[in-house]
Chain A
Amino acid sequence: MQVFLQTLIGGITFGAVYALVAMGFSIVYRTMGLVNFAHGSVVMIGAYAASTFYMATRLPFAVAMVVAIVVTGLIGLVIERFLRPLENKDFTLMLIGTIGFGAVLEALAILIWGATGHAVPNPVATEPINLGGVRIPTYSLLVIGVAAVATTMLALFLRRTKLGAAMQAVAMDHEAATACGIHVGRSNALSFGIGAGLAAVAGSLIGPMLYVNPTMGGTLGIKGFAAAMLGGFGSMPGAIVGGMAFGLLDAFAAGNFQAYSELVTFVVFALAVMIRPTGIFGEATVNRA
């Protein structure tokens, strides 16, 4: 039982990060139908930006996070500007274009920070909280808390602000949105910026939990992507639930299959999406004559 609860906490912590990554994917996907395979690399850049700034300046971790958000947000705008001619057109080309961007970001990270990577000190170096024999790291609480705040802010933005409503409108029908006087290009750029910002939050949070290195984006991106699919592509609640589900799947696979956890995770994932390709919250996108 203790082991179970301990694994559960680890799973939820990683799940919170995957949920952030998945939300970043989803917000871009729903507004412009673009599947951003570079998202994982953006997360990696966010992790580097936050950790480098944090370790170099010794300013609070929150400040480092904001710096990372600005950096990745700008990268997001650049990617969006480049791929704008393909938006809502050829799916496969967009997908490959973003894979290209991912490779570019990874190469840039190697050129700037070197191929080896670095460890990040824990910003809240206190003893874990002991709760009936289960040790909860304080950093886990921080991760879950920050993820919850980011999610709430995003939800409020989408629901309560005019800009957010405009983005929702573009998501539903970009042509109708244009007819209503919404600048679709600007709205798309904004959602790409927000997606990249979420990636930075996820990246800066994951830094102290993993070793920050240029190739971490690949695995993180795929896992976040898989989480988004599991929840239902383009659905925000789906991203959260999918992220959590994938975090738990990952944690329990690691607990039971040790070294083979990745194999088990992806096989289970493949089976799950085969049984239900639309995910938990996804709507059936039946393309019929």
Chain B
Amino acid sequence: MLYLAPAAVAAWLLPYGLGGYTMHVVDVAVIFAVLAIGLGLTMGVAGQINLAQVAFFGIGAYTVAILTTKTGLGFWPAAVLAVVASIVAGLLVGIPALRMQSHYLGIVTLGLALGFINWVTNAEIAGRAEGISDIPVPPLFGIDLSSGYLYYYLELVVFVLALAFALFVTRSPLGRRLRAMRDDDLAAGALGAEIPLLRMTAFVLSGLYGGIAGVLYAGLIQFVAPETFNIGNMFLLLAMVIIGGRASVIGCVVGALGLAFVREALLDVSAFAQLGYGVIVVLVVVFFPKGLAGLPAQVFRRKRAERPRLSPFIPYDEAPAVEAQTVLEIDQITKRFKGLIALQDISLSVPAGQIRGIVGPNGSGKTTLFNVISGFYTPTAGRVRLAGTFVTGAAPYRLSLKGVARTFQNLRLFEDLTVRDNILVAADRTRTSWIWRYLALPWTVSTYDRGLRSRADDVLGRFGLTGFADVVPRSLPYGIQRRIEIARAMAMRPSLLLLDEPAAGLNGDEVRQLAEIVRSIRDSGVTVVVIEHNMGLVMSLCDHVTVLSGGRVIADGTPDEVAVDPRVVEAYLGDSMAAPTEDDTDREAEHEHADR
């Protein structure tokens, strides 16, 4: 916070040392900075490839221009409507993001931006290629804003507010969810993040910042024309965000201010300038993917004197025994993928406080069953009941908020979030519709976030992960990553925990710790369903085992009963009488070949 004061003083005193033209350049640079923050939030924080940011900018500026010159509306009412128009445009452009991501989204948003330019160059109301001139100077309590110097202070206030809001959003629970969605949208959904709404939120933010920048631009230049909003400038904006560091709001600002000045300096040799920043973007992407913002960390890579150790797990308090009720009930579930029947008429019910094992050969449908229970798949037929209420086909985030937590077979931790942030994402149990508070009651968000942090610290401490809280999971050994995933699931305070092969890749010691953790979780009153291949662990850990084979339940009972069931033995070991002998291995190989 301390380094902010000199920056603020410098920004305040800056106009005193500048000539009229330089002041104008600074004014334009600040507008680009606001625009870049918006792009950084959508692209860097939320991971939505948005190449229409320059169109939102254009919509803001053109709306002000059209409303003030054609309808005679005052500047500020027009400005409010302009920001609303940009946000609406953001919502419309964001709709495709619900159906597609990455390059698909990039090309669709770019196409729509081209469509916008096409419209303004041809529409009578937008002044065609000549654009609209004579936009009135914004009135402000008698301050003459036609002066670039005084306009700078208006921009400065808006910019500081925009920056503060962006920083606030990225560091709040919403920002964490957006980043979680960027890293892995499926896992984020399973942790209670409402992905469609979050994607729209990202585009709303994009439209908001684009609109504000557009209004400022219209008030500053008092003239709008299509070429300001062309693809070349979209690329410039992208270069600003990438060079500065897309995931860092401050980085975006630095990139925007820097490139805006460089562009101005090289205005006479613009082709060389374009060559230059094209080359820089390529180099940044290959060598410094985090941009300027990531440079300090990359240069001064800290060497830890000592690697923190994993502390032992602190068992949960035992919950008082409750009357037996069925937590999970699956009734005649069938799941088909086109021709393939992955699950057929699966029924099972899990009473509260049980550790249920699901076992079966590879491809028997275990993970598909988990995906149905946690809402990733909608079953073709059948019903799922959770503590008595039907939840068939409910979205993963709804199930998560209803108390279903899961881990994944091949670990889905958020790679670019610290371990603490991973836990915090799970600890946040609010609906996304809660986000109106970010605008209306920001202080309640801070209070809520403090609560989350203390809960996350509890979880980290309990799972012995405090020493790793501030590193990214990627840098940690596999066994610890597995434990983080269980801790993350438990941070949701679930009533039903689904573990998909939690012992895969663990050594003997870690498997023992896992068993201890799972028992303690059960004793705290959480029902656990576990898919596992390690039969030793299943036998010792589970109260009850369900065996799947070929998408059907072939056995169900206590571990001891199941282990001797002839159908189970057959499923695992094959029918010994039909097994190939040495004589017919050739025929068998041929047969296998034909199968492919």
List residues of A whose CB falls within 8 A of some B CB.
35, 37, 82-83, 85-86, 90-97, 99-104, 106-108, 110-111, 115, 215, 218-219, 222, 225-226, 229, 233, 259-267, 269-270, 273-274, 277, 287-289
Contacts of B104 in A (CB 8 A): 229, 233, 273, 277
* Distance from B359 Cβ to chain A, minimum over Cβ atoms (Å): 19
A100 touches B279 (CB 8 A): yes
B285 interface contact, C-beta 8 A: yes
Interface size on B, residues (CB 8 A): 53
Digitize B32-68: 1 where CB-to-A-CB distance is under 8 Å, 0 elsewhere.
0000000000010001010000000000000000000
- In the bound assembly, the distance between CA atoms of A124 and B258 in angstroms comes to 51
Taking a contact as CB atoms under 8 Å apart, the answer to whether B107 and A108 are in contact is no
Q: How far does the alpha carbon of A99 sit from the alpha carbon of B43 in the complex, in Å?
A: 15
Let me know if A273 and B271 touch, CB within 8 A: no
> Which of A92, A103, A219, A287 is the one whose CB lies under 8 Å from B274?
A103
Looking at A85, A91, A104, which has the most chain B CB atoms within 10 Å of its CB?
A104
Given A100-B282, A222-B107, A226-B107, does the pair A270, B274 have CB atoms closer than 8 Å? no
A270→B96 contact, CB < 8 A: yes
Question: A104 contacts which of B95, B100, B186, B279 (Cβ < 8 Å)?
Answer: B279
A260 and B103 within 8 A (CB) = no
Q: Is the C-beta of B412 less than 8 angstroms from some C-beta in chain A?
A: yes
**Contact present for A104 and B371 (CB under 8 Å):** no
**Is the beta-carbon distance between B275 and A97 smaller than 8 angstroms?**
no
B49 touches A95 (CB 8 A): yes
- Do B108 and A95 touch across chains, with their CB atoms under 8 A apart? no
The answer to the question of B196 belonging to the interface, with a C-beta cut-off of 8 Å to chain A, is no
- Bound: A110/B277 CA distance, A: 15
Contact B106 A95 (CB under 8 A): yes
Cross-interface CB contact of A99 among B95, B115, B235, B409, cutoff 8 Å = B235
* Residue B119 at the chain A interface, CB threshold 8 Å: yes
How far apart sit A267 and B113, CA to CA, in the bound complex (Å)? Answer: 10
Say yes or no: A289-B238 contact (C-beta < 8 A), given A100-B278, A270-B108, A273-B96.
Answer: no
Alpha-carbon distance between A94 and B282 when the two chains are bound, in angstroms: 9
- Cβ < 8 Å to A, chain B residues 253-304: 271-272, 274-275, 277-282, 285-286, 289
Query: B272's contact among A93, A106, A111, by CB below 8 Å, is which?
Result: A111
Question: Within 8 Å CB of B282, what residues of A?
Answer: 82-83, 97, 100-101, 104
Say yes or no: A288 contacts B376, CB within 8 Å: yes
Q: Given A94, A110, A218, A262, which contacts B115 in the complex, CB threshold below 8 Å?
A: A262
Expressed in whole angstroms, the Cα–Cα distance for A106 and B115 within the complex equals 21
Interchain Cβ contacts under 8 Å between A and B, 14 examples: A35-B106, A92-B43, A97-B282, A100-B281, A100-B285, A103-B274, A107-B271, A222-B114, A262-B115, A263-B115, A266-B114, A266-B118, A270-B96, A277-B99
Tell me which of B96, B104, B285 has the highest count of chain A C-beta atoms within 10 A of its own C-beta. B285
* B residues less than 8 Å from A267 (CB atoms): 112, 115
Set of chain A residues within 8 Å of B190, measured between Cβ atoms: 289
Answer whether A110 and B271 are a contact pair too, CB < 8 Å, given A95-B102, A270-B96: yes
Do B99 and A90 touch (CB < 8 A)? no
Q: Which residues on the B side are within 8 Å of A225 (C-beta)?
A: 107
A107 CB contacts on chain B under 8 angstroms: 271-272, 274-275, 278
